[in-house]
Structure 1
Amino acid sequence: MWKKQKPKNKGISIFPIKIDTLEKILIDKFEGNPDLKFSRYTVSNRNVVVFFIDYQIDMASIQQSLLQPLVEFDKNGKKLTNETLMNSIPVNSPSTSVDIEEILNGLLIGKVYIYIEDEKTAVDYIFAKKESRSLEKAETESIVLGPQISFTESLSKNMNIVRWLIKSPDLVLEEFKIGKVSPKDVRLVYMKSLANDDDVQTMRQRLKELDVDEVEDAIVLKQYIEDSQNNLFPQFDITERPDRFAYNITKGKLGVLVENSPSGFTAPATLFSFLESTEDLYMRWQAGSFLRILRFVAMFISILLTPTYVAALTYQYAIIPTQILISIGQSRVSVPFPPIFEALLLEFLLELLREAGARLPTKVGQTMGIVGGIVIGQAAVEAGLTSNILIIVVAMSALASFTTPSYLFGTTIRLIRFPLIILAAFFGLIGIVFGITFLIIHTLRLKSLGRPYLVPLYPLQIKDFNKVFFRTPFNHSSKRARSYRPKFIKRFSSKDADQIRDIDE
């Protein structure tokens, strides 16, 4: 899964070199790219060249902080060398480079190079121009209560938000570079006093040993380093909400942020963590518990309702009450197809509408989903392609799947329905039981960062039930979940929390 990188050979210095030769080498390397700019100067009787890629850097900052002090260097009365240059213009932590490949990579990430002819190194300064959008409302994980901002494509902004939410010196943001062709900055985020050392070492090793050309996004990186890439269930929790990200970090989990990615992921995750929402914390514990239990019920409805309908109409008529069976029979009088065909047809049409609505512009997509569903459903019933009762069943299954806070997990639930429908058509309720048994065995074998996927059900951690399946009042939540094995279980003193401190009259 992870291919260990071979140590890179240190490049051979090309300096000292004539400026004309250096310029020719760089132009050849960049295939004559017109965006590569060279500016020549004569300072202290020495030839100097400044080169950079113009769209990668902030020209205003270069002009004010670098070029102007450079051309006025004569006024200092010092001899121009790399050392005196770096001491006189110490902006943005200057360093030196000797290897042509190192210089090429530096130009691509927004570095400005100054080469003084006959010197043995080139001095580089970072003046990268960062393009990013402003902080906006989360789209895929919308909530009513709580913070509304989401991550952006700027890694520095995302780190700043996390630091703002977790004001603790224990917060660690460990730096990694991933990608051989297009390297990207990656940050491993965790609380040093809470995160399990084995988890930290495992994640660190997977990030270090990942050998790929490029990583497009945090969601792509997540798939590279998950415990198993050959199953449908997501093993790391992806989120675009900084509050959800920070909440998981304070529970003892690890987080990963990627440059140019508007989302991050946390690990280890469990099957049940995908049904949690930070909105549960912002409500009263009774309402939060109700919503969490509702999501669990909705998950089972989404998975089982349509397959049970197909199994009942195909084999097990006896489980349907007589009055409902009469209604179903009347609605299916004009339908010439077996239940499996009309169920798969409606499920397929629903997925088409959902995908079309997601790809179209927002206002058009909403109209397409509502109007398209009504028109197509009514037309299908009048044409005798399906029954109106099945439309209700499929609609309920779809609505139930949309209650899941995690978009990836909701997609997983919808995909699971299709093989269960097929099993129900061939084997009835026995087929559904076989399919569910297979899913349970499969999830029992799954791991997330080496941790069991079904904890706290397996292995059994009854004391964690109030943190997974329902909520308790905050004064009764004095301990962290044991499932993630944090260094410190205790959050605060439960005895102190139960004390009522009123002002004496």
Structure 2
Amino acid sequence: MFKGKFGKNQNEEQKAHSLKVEELKEQLKTVLHASSDLNFRSLKKDGKRILFSFLASVIDKNAIDDFVIRTIQNHNEVEWSIENLAQILPIAQISAANQLQEISASLIEGNVYIYVEGDPCGLLANVSKTVERSLEKAETESLVYGPKIAFTESLNSNLNILRNNIKDSNLCMEDVVIGARGKAKGKIVYIKDIADEENVNTFRQRLSELKVDQIADTTVLGQLLESNSWTVFPQLMTTELPDRVTSALLKGKVAVLMDRSPATLYGPTPFFSFFETTEDVYMRWNMGFFLRMLRLTAIFLSVLLTPAYVAVVTYHYEVIPSPLLVTLGQSRSNVPFPPVFEALLLEFVIELLREAGARLPTKVGQTMGIVGGIVIGQAAVDAGFTSNILIIIIALSALGSFTSPSYIMGTAIRIIRFPIILLAGIWGGIGIMIAFCFFLIHLLKLETLGGPYLMPIFPFRWRDLRYSVFRMPLQYLSFRPETNRTNDNQNYPAQKAKEKKDVDE
């Protein structure tokens, strides 16, 4: 157990440390640039010295006092050697080391290095202390039904949640190190007999090819792992909800967790996956079906309502019913701006209010958003900057974009409205069709973890529509989605699920 790294390193600066305590201290000070939180503590017995090296800012001082130093002092009869110390120390994570690079990296992670003068190597004992917050509700994803627990910044806590959710020996967790300087710990998580090995290998390859100093969060990691970084559409999902990750893993997807990040990244995630929510499963199938259709319809209207208004008012008055045409004319009689400028101005004001409300404290932000929207809207109509009908259309478009369960996809939907409005103002209905065709072609070209972004529409998979576009009864969901290319493609026997549940008298 303690004989793994005693060989010489090819780099002379990373050779095994000197056998003298003072020389070891000087070398550690040099490697860590004499950091002010680098501390040393030494003990002496029968002419033999033992040195404890640690960074005070990342270790648990009580643990090093009670479990390391005091334990060694209480075992006076034990001869000081790494084998004997490894037997008496009540610490789970202990390893042997004699390379300066490994020792310095371990000290930064919260280990204490125990070196007995004269031994060929020392011991690394984990006494780290991490700042963690308690389990709370998710801030960006709210649910009415289902578990309310959310991930935290602690990698161990997040893995513990997943282990409790999926008590399966096939649940695999592979270690990865993310960032050349930050060196954040990460995990690739998947279910061995379900996930497609190609998806796992894709994550492995893209993570290994990253050459960056530090990655702050999985949302940044997702941008680096995506196939196309220029598009506005996200190709990998980030979520704070453990039950959403659990559901994705059971469908054959692969997740990546990172230390100090409260969100989990997983894929492949086609376009329609961003409009699904675990609440669709917790509710009865007909309610879930209705809400999913409502969500998709709202997103579609959110993109097209304002451009359609601009196109109709600018070029296509003939499609407006006569009674509504009179009302529309009266509403726009005092507006000096063309419809395209009027719509872009109001869309910009709505986005300004939304961003300001998100940056202010919660209570102040909500009040400012409601009051600001009412006051500015009414003032804009009274001043003749816009019409009443456009105010209603802009409000409906904003509400439609907020129905997306994914915050980042909702933001993408709001962004693409602006070029569509501009094209509608230039070419009317033809401009809308040009924009629609452009985005459709763009979506067809996108990939998510190497697979088509518009699955199961393209390529068409009729059976997979029940998992993405529609919500069907659970007894018809006995097979896992074909688009994930799962090894074990069956959730449960389909015939058993459809049998009558009545008990015969």
- What TM-score bracket applies, with the shorter chain setting the length? over 0.9
Counterpart in the other structure of 1:49: 51
Question: Contact between 2:424 and 2:432, CA under 8 Å: does it hold in 1?
Answer: yes
Q: Distance in 2 between matches of 1:290 and 1:251?
A: 23
Counterpart in the other structure of 1:500: 500
Deviation at 1:335, TM superposition (A): 1.1
For these two proteins, the number of residue pairs brought into alignment is: 497
Counterpart in the other structure of 1:128: 128
* Structural mapping, 1:471-482, within 5 Å: 471-482=471-482
Q: Deviations over 1:374-404 (max 9, x none)?
A: 0111111111111111111110000000000
Q: Distance in 1 between matches of 2:46 and 2:192?
A: 51
- The amino acid of 1:384's aligned partner reads G
Secondary structure of the structure 1 residue equivalent to 2:220? helix
Counterpart in the other structure of 2:310: 310
Counterpart in the other structure of 2:240: 240
Deviation at 1:14, TM superposition (A): 4.3
Question: Contact between 2:18 and 2:24, CA under 8 Å: does it hold in 1?
Answer: no
Q: Deviations over 1:423-445 (max 9, x none)?
A: 11111110110000000101101
* Structural mapping, 1:125-274, within 5 Å: 125-274=125-274
2:72 to 63, 70, 73: 70
Q: Distance in 2 between matches of 1:238 and 1:293?
A: 23
* Structural mapping, 1:49-448, within 5 Å: 49-76=51-78, 79-89=79-89, 91-448=91-448
Deviation at 1:253, TM superposition (A): 0.7
Q: Distance in 2 between matches of 1:354 and 1:63?
A: 51
- What is the TM-score normalised by the length of structure 1? 0.95
Deviation at 1:143, TM superposition (A): 1.1
Secondary structure of the structure 1 residue equivalent to 2:458? coil
Deviation at 1:10, TM superposition (A): 8.7
Counterpart in the other structure of 2:35: 33
Deviation at 1:86, TM superposition (A): 2.2
- The amino acid of 2:141's aligned partner reads E
Secondary structure of the structure 1 residue equivalent to 2:41? strand
Q: Distance in 1 between matches of 2:482 and 2:123?
A: 51
Question: Contact between 1:195 and 1:252, CA under 8 Å: does it hold in 2?
Answer: yes
RMSD, aligned α-carbons: 1.7
- Name stretches of at least 5 consecutive residues in structure 1 with no aligned partner: 1-6
Question: Contact between 2:38 and 2:54, CA under 8 Å: does it hold in 1?
Answer: yes
- The amino acid of 2:311's aligned partner reads A
* Percent identical: 46
Structure 1 residues 312, 269: CA separation in 2 closer, same or farther (over 3 Å shift)? same
| Range that drifts further, 317-326 or 405-414 | 317-326
Question: Contact between 1:308 and 1:424, CA under 8 Å: does it hold in 2?
Answer: yes
Q: Distance in 2 between matches of 1:341 and 1:503?
A: 68
- What is the TM-score normalised by the length of structure 2? 0.95
Deviation at 1:11, TM superposition (A): 5.8
Counterpart in the other structure of 2:6: none
Q: Deviations over 1:461-501 (max 9, x none)?
A: 11111222111111122111111111122222222222223
Secondary structure of the structure 1 residue equivalent to 2:152? coil
- The amino acid of 2:248's aligned partner reads N
Q: Which runs of 4+ in 1 moved over 4 A?
A: 7-11
Question: Contact between 1:44 and 1:73, CA under 8 Å: does it hold in 2?
Answer: no
Deviation at 1:132, TM superposition (A): 0.8
Secondary structure of the structure 1 residue equivalent to 2:27? helix
Question: Contact between 1:94 and 1:125, CA under 8 Å: does it hold in 2?
Answer: yes
